[in-house]
Chains A and B, each alone.
Chain A
Amino acid sequence: MGKPLIIVGSVTYAIKGRNILARMGIRSYVERVPGGNCQTCLYVPEHTDEAEDILLRYGVRVTGRTERGGTL
Chain B
Amino acid sequence: MIYLDNAATTYPKPEPVRRAVAAALQQYGANPGRAGHDMSMAAAEEIYRCRTAAAEFFRAPGPECVAFTLNCTHALNYVLKGLLKPGDHAVTSCLEHNAVARPLYALSKGGVEVTEARVFPGDNDATVDSFRRAIRPNTRLIVCTHASNVWGIRLPVERIAALGHEYRIPIAVDCAQSAGVLPVDMADSGIDYLCIAGHKGLYGPMGTGLLITAQGGGLATLVEGGTGTNSAEPEQPLSMPDRMESGTQNMPGIAGLRAGIEFVRSHGADRIFRHEIGLVQELYRRLAAMKSIRLYTEEPDPRYFAPVLSFNVGDLPSEEVGRKLNGYGIAVRAGLHCAPAAHRFCGTLRQGAVRICPSVFTRREEIGRLVQVLSAIG
Binding site for B on A (CB under 8 A): 9-13, 15-16, 30-32, 36-40, 59, 61
Cβ contact of A61, chosen from B44, B45, B239, cutoff 8 A = B239
Q: Is B120 an interface residue (CB 8 A)?
A: no
B242 near A: Cβ within 8 Å? yes
Interface residues of B (CB under 8 A from A): 32-36, 41, 44-45, 48, 51, 62-64, 227-232, 237, 239, 241-242
> Does A12 lie within 8 Å of B237, measured CB to CB?
no
Cα distance A65–B44 in the bound complex, in angstroms: 22
Q: Which residues of A contact B239 (CB under 8 A)?
A: 9-10, 61
Task: Provide 27 A-B residue pairs closer than 8 Å at the C-beta atoms, listed in order of the A residue.
Answer: A9-B229, A9-B237, A9-B242, A10-B64, A10-B228, A10-B239, A10-B241, A11-B32, A11-B44, A11-B48, A11-B228, A12-B33, A12-B48, A12-B64, A12-B242, A13-B64, A15-B44, A16-B62, A16-B64, A30-B41, A32-B35, A32-B36, A36-B232, A37-B230, A38-B229, A38-B230, A61-B239
User: How far apart are the CA atoms of A17 and B45 in the complex, in Å?
Assistant: 13
Q: If A16-B62, A59-B62, A61-B239 touch, does A11 touch B230 (CB 8 Å cutoff)?
A: no
Residues of B within 8 A of A39 (CB): 229-230
Chain A residues, CB < 8 A from B35: 32
CA distance A65 to B64 in the complex (A): 21
Among candidates A13, A15, A59, residue contacting B45 with C-beta atoms closer than 8 Å: A15
List the 8 shortest-distance A-B pairs measured between CB atoms, nearest first: A32-B36, A11-B33, A38-B231, A15-B48, A37-B232, A11-B44, A10-B229, A10-B242
Output the nearest chain A residue to B226 by Cβ-Cβ distance: A38
Shortest CB distance A7–B (Å):
10
Known: A31-B36, A59-B62. A12 touches B51 (CB 8 A): yes
Specify which of B34, B230, B231 lies most central, judged by the most chain A CB atoms within 10 Å of its CB.
Answer: B230
- List the B side residues contacting A31 at CB < 8 Å: 36
**With A10-B239, A10-B242, A31-B36 as contacts: A16 and B229 at CB distance below 8 Å:** no
Measured in the bound complex, the distance between the Cα atoms of B62 and A22 in whole Å is 17
Complex-state Cα separation, A40 to B51, whole angstroms: 18
- The answer for the CA separation of A20 and B231 in the assembled complex, in Å, is 26
Question: Does B231 lie within 8 Å of A10, measured CB to CB?
Answer: no
**Which B residue sits closest to A38, measured CB to CB?**
B231
Set B41, B62, B232, B237: member contacting A10, Cβ < 8 A: B237
Find the A residue at minimum CB distance from B240. Answer: A12
How far, in angstroms, from A12 to B64 measured CA to CA in the complex? 6
Query: In the complex, what residues of B have CB within 8 A of residue A16's CB?
Result: 48, 62-64
Collect the chain A residues with CB atoms within 8 Å of residue B33's CB.
10-12, 40
CB distance from B243 to the nearest CB of A (A): 10
Q: 15 more A-B contacts (CB under 8 A) besides A11-B48, A12-B48?
A: A9-B229, A10-B33, A10-B227, A11-B32, A11-B44, A11-B229, A12-B242, A16-B62, A16-B63, A37-B230, A37-B231, A37-B232, A38-B230, A39-B230, A61-B239
A13 to B241, CA, bound (A): 10
Of the candidates A13, A15, A31, A39, the one having the most CB atoms from chain B within 10 angstroms of its own CB is: A15
CA distance A61 to B320 in the complex (A): 56
Query: What's the minimum C-beta distance from B65 to chain A, rounded to whole angstroms?
Result: 10
Select from chain A the residue with minimum beta-carbon distance to B65: A12
B45 to chain A: closest residue by CB: A15
